[in-house]
Structure 1
Amino acid sequence: MSARADIQQMAGELDESFAEEGLINIPDSRNSSTRCVVETSQQKLVYAVYQGGACWLRRAMPDGSDDPGFGQQDGVTQWQFEIGTDARPTQLLAQADGKILLIGSTGRDPFMRRAAVTRFNENGTPDLIFGTKILPFPVEPVPPDHGLTTFTPVGCISVDGQLLLASGYLLSSFDGSVLEGVGLLNRFDASGAPDLNFGTRRVQFKGEESTVHSVNLLSDNRIVVFGSLNRPDQGKAHMRSALACYTSDGELDQEFASQGYWEADDYSLLGKMQVYEDKVIYASISRLNEVPYIAVNRLLADGSADMSFNSGKEVLIDLEVPSVFPMSVTVQSDRKIVVAGHTFDGQQLLFWLRISDAGVLDESFADQGVFRYVDGYLSDGIVQRASGRIIFAADVGPRTGAKDPKVIGVKS
C-alpha cells in the first residue's frame, strides 16, 4: 500500500489508485515515447508507443492495470504502415463499435513523411476490411531548389463512422522563402473508402500560409479546423491562431465568424482544439511583450465569442518560464477545461492546469490551478468518462537523456 494511502489526495495530483501509484510503467520501452491515448467504448485505455521505428499498441483496464487480452502477442500489437519503414503514431480514435483508428506518418525522411491511418479490431488485430490508407505526398515531384516539409496528421470520427483526416505541408525554397503552406482535409467512409465527392480540401486561413493542428465536428456535422496562419510583417513571421469552419460537404461556412474564418487578435501559435457541447475550445501559445502565455478561449458554434467564458476574452496564464508548449486540451463533464504540456527553462517540465467553466484558473486544482511535474515531454490527454480521471501520454526524463514512456493518471 502506498505510504500516502491514508492521505486525502487533491485534484491535479497523481491518482495513486491508478496503475502503480498513478503511473503505467510500460515494460521494455526505455528511450521510447508514448505518443497518444484513447478511451474505448468499453472504457478501457489504448495507448501507442513509438518504439524501434514502429507503433506499439497496448491496452489497460480503466484502473490502469494491464490488459493481456489485447494485441497480437504478449498484450502488444506492433505496427508499421509500410513494411520496413519508420512509422510514428500521432493520434488514436475510438469508434462506438470498439474498433480503434491509428493515425500516424510513414517515411524515412524526418521532415517529409506521408500521412497514414489503419484501423484495428477491438482485440488489437488489424481490421482487414479497412486496411491501411497512406496519402500520397502533397507535392510530387518537389520543384528544383525547393524543400517540402509535411505536418503531423490529425483526425476525428463522425457519429456515422466517417473519418476526417487533416494533414498539410510547407513548400519553401532553399533560400528560406515560403512558396505556400497549406492544410489538407480528406474523408473516408466507415469501410475505409475515400469520399471522392469530398476529395482533398485545401485549408488556408484567409488565404495565408497555414498549419492545421486539430480538426473536430459540431453536432450538425460542420467541420471545425484549428491551426495557425502566418502573415509576415516586414519580412518576419507573424503567427496567429486561427479557425475555419466548413459544411459537411466541405464548403466554407460563410456564416461562421467572419466569412468562415476566425483569428486571434495577438501573436499566437501551436496548441490544440476540442469541440464540447457545440462550443469550440482551444489552447495555444500567446506572446505579449515578449512574455509567453498559455491562451485558452471558448467560442460558440457560429464563431462568436462565448460571453459566459471570461467575458468573451482569452484566458491568459503566465507560467513564468521562457517557453511553454500546450500539447493537450480536454474537457471534463462539469465543463472544466484541462490544458497540459511542457515548459522549458533550462529543464523541460511537464505541467497541467485547469480552467473553470466561467473562464478563470481553478484554484482548487493542484497548486493554485497548476501542477508542475518532473522532467519530460507530454503528447496527449483525455478524461475518462466514468471516473472523470485525467489521463496523459507522456515521457519522463531529462530533455537530453534517456526517456521512460508513461501513461499518467491524475485526480479530477
Structure 2
Amino acid sequence: MPVPLHALLAATLALAPVPAGGLDASFGDRGKAYADFGAGRDTEIAADLAVTGKGQVLAVGTVETGGVSRWAVARWRRNGALDHGFSGNGRAVTAIGDSDAAHTVELRGSGRSLVGGTSDGRFALVAYRADGTLDPGWGTDGVVTTDLPAGAATVLDLLLLDDGSVLAGGIAGDRLAVAHYGADGELVDVVTSAHPFAGTVNGVEVQPDGSLLATGVGVTDDDGVRGVRTEWVDAAGLPEPGFGTAGGVTTYAADSEGNLGNVVRHQPDGTVLVGGSAYGPGDYRYQMLLRYLPDGSLDPSFGRGDGYTDDLFDYYSQADDLAVQDDVRIVAVGWAAGEDPHRVAVSRYTAAGVLDASFNGKGYRTIAYGEGSPTVASSWSEGRAVALAGDRIYAVGGVRFGVGKHDVAFVGVRLGR
C-alpha cells in the first residue's frame, strides 16, 4: 500500500535537521504548540516541563478563573499535537484546595509523573499515571499536602532519589524548607532553615544530599537598591559555611537600580549559575546571568570578566529558567518586551557567558504567536521553563491570543540546538 503524501511530508519534517535557534516546523504550528483549558480563563501559564523518552512534552502550571486557581497539566505528542491518551483530551485540571498552583514536575518512569506546588498555603504533591488519572499508589488518591509551621508553603523543586523517595524543596513563610517523602508519598521528615532568607525567594534547587540552593531578591540597601540574593543551606537547615558570608551572597550589577534572581543551578564543577535580570538605568531591564565559584565569589572568567553578563534583547528582558548542554553552553528562557509584543525569549551562551552567535546568528531568538503569519498575532507571550532533549530545545510558558483579546493558553516551543 502506498504511503500517503502527508505522512511522507510529516516524516521528512521530523527527520530534517533544524539549525540552532531555528523553530522546528515538525512541532505544532511552525514550532509552537498550545493547550487551551477552556474559555473564560483569566490566566493559563505553564511553569515547568518534562520530555518523556517517547518525545512527549508534559507541561504543568496554573489556570485561574474569577480568582480561583487550579493545578493544570497538559501533554503534547512528539509532533506538538495534544496527546488524547492523557486525560482524554491532553489536558487535566486538578482541584486540591481553594487556591492551587503547580510549579515543578519530575518523571517517575512508565509514563508516570510527580508534580509539586502549593494548595492553600501547604506543600502539595500530585502523582499522575500515564493516562492522566491520579495515581492511587501515591498519598491519598494521588495527592499529598503538608502543613509547615513556618508559614505559607510552596514546593518549587523536586528531586527523585534512587530508592523512589522524593525530596521537595521550597519556601515556607520566610524560611527555606525541604520535605522528604517515601516512595508512596508518606512524609519522612521536614527541615526548615535556621534563619530567614534575607529577601524574597524566586527559585530553589534541591541537592542530592538534601541541601538547598535558593535565589531571589535581597533586602534594600542604603541607596534603595536590591541585589540578587543567593543562599545555600545544608541538610540540617544551617548555612553552608563555605559559600559566601554565612551561606549567602548578594550581588549588584554595575549601574543597576535593582536586581533579581529567578533560577539557580549547581554545576558538576562546583560553580553556581543564577539567572534573572537587572534594572535600568533608563527604566531598562537586562537579562542577567551570574556564575559563582564554590566559595560564593563571582567567577572572573564568566561574562564581562566580573562574573556576570547582562544583555538587552529589547527594552526589557529577563531569564526565568536555565539548562546546561553537555558541551557546557547555557540555554536561558524568559521573555523580552518593548515596541513589539511581550514575547518568549530563548538565548544561548558559551561556557564563558558570552552570547553564542551560532544560535540564530545573534545568540537569542524572541518568539510571538503568529510569527510568520499575516493574520494571527499575539499581544503577549512568555517563557517560564526550558528543557533539553536530543538535539532540541523545549520551552513552555503562556500566550494570549490576538491583540486585544483575552483568550489564554499554555504555550510550548521547540527549537534546534
Give TM-score scaled by structure 2 length.
0.77
Maintained 8 Å contact 1:35/1:48: yes
| Correspondence for 1:101 | 114
2:83 partner letter? D
| Correspondence for 1:243 | 230
1:91 paired with 2:83, answer: no
Maintained 8 Å contact 2:396/2:410: no
Maintained 8 Å contact 2:215/2:263: yes
* Aligned pair partner of 2:292 in 283, 286, 299: 299
| Correspondence for 1:146 | none
Maintained 8 Å contact 2:333/2:386: no
Gaps of 5+ in 2: 1-8, 369-378
Maintained 8 Å contact 1:348/1:398: no
Name the CA distance, whole Å, in 1 between partners of 2:409 and 2:109.
31
Measured after TM superposition, the shift of residue 335 of structure 1 is: 1.9
2:363 partner letter? G
Please give the per-residue CA displacement for 1:147-181, whole angstroms capped at 9, x wherever unaligned: xxx68641221534322231244xxxxxxxxxxxx
1:269 paired with 2:260, answer: yes
| Correspondence for 1:257 | 244
Measured after TM superposition, the shift of residue 296 of structure 1 is: 0.6
Percent identity, aligned pairs only, is 17
The change in CA–CA distance for 1:376 and 1:275 in structure 2 (over 3 A counts) is farther
Measured after TM superposition, the shift of residue 243 of structure 1 is: 1.5
Name the CA distance, whole Å, in 2 between partners of 1:8 and 1:41.
19
Name the CA distance, whole Å, in 2 between partners of 1:163 and 1:94.
14
The change in CA–CA distance for 1:400 and 1:343 in structure 2 (over 3 A counts) is farther
The change in CA–CA distance for 1:303 and 1:151 in structure 2 (over 3 A counts) is same
The correspondence of residues 4-403 of structure 1 with structure 2, limited to 5 A, is 9-26=18-35, 29-30=38-39, 31=41, 33-36=44-47, 37-40=49-52, 43-48=55-60, 50-51=62-63, 52=65, 53-71=69-87, 73-82=88-97, 85-95=98-108, 98-107=111-120, 113-128=121-136, 129-131=138-140, 132-136=143-147, 153-160=155-162, 161-169=165-173, 182-190=174-182, 191-196=184-189, 198-201=190-193, 204-205=196-197, 208=198, 210-218=199-207, 220-233=209-222, 236=224, 238-266=225-253, 267-277=258-268, 278-290=270-282, 291-310=284-303, 311=305, 313-321=307-315, 323-345=316-338, 347-374=341-368, 375-397=379-401, 401-402=405-406, 403=408
Name the CA distance, whole Å, in 1 between partners of 2:153 and 2:220.
19
Name the CA distance, whole Å, in 2 between partners of 1:60 and 1:276.
30
- SS of aligned partner of 2:392: coil
The change in CA–CA distance for 1:300 and 1:63 in structure 2 (over 3 A counts) is farther
CA RMSD of aligned residues (A): 3.3
Please give the per-residue CA displacement for 1:198-240, whole angstroms capped at 9, x wherever unaligned: 43335534xx3x2212222446553212222113436x4x321
Name the CA distance, whole Å, in 2 between partners of 1:334 and 1:23.
26
The change in CA–CA distance for 1:411 and 1:263 in structure 2 (over 3 A counts) is same
Measured after TM superposition, the shift of residue 121 of structure 1 is: 2.9
Maintained 8 Å contact 1:164/1:186: yes
Maintained 8 Å contact 1:185/1:203: no
Structure 1 segments, 4+ long, off by >6 Å, are 4-8
Name the CA distance, whole Å, in 1 between partners of 2:210 and 2:146.
23
Measured after TM superposition, the shift of residue 76 of structure 1 is: 3.5
* Aligned pair partner of 1:407 in 407, 412, 415: 412
- SS of aligned partner of 1:257: coil
The change in CA–CA distance for 1:68 and 1:38 in structure 2 (over 3 A counts) is same
Maintained 8 Å contact 1:231/1:239: yes
2:168 partner letter? L
Aligned residues: 375
The change in CA–CA distance for 1:202 and 1:400 in structure 2 (over 3 A counts) is farther
Name the CA distance, whole Å, in 1 between partners of 2:329 and 2:149.
38
Gaps of 5+ in 1: 108-112, 141-149, 170-181
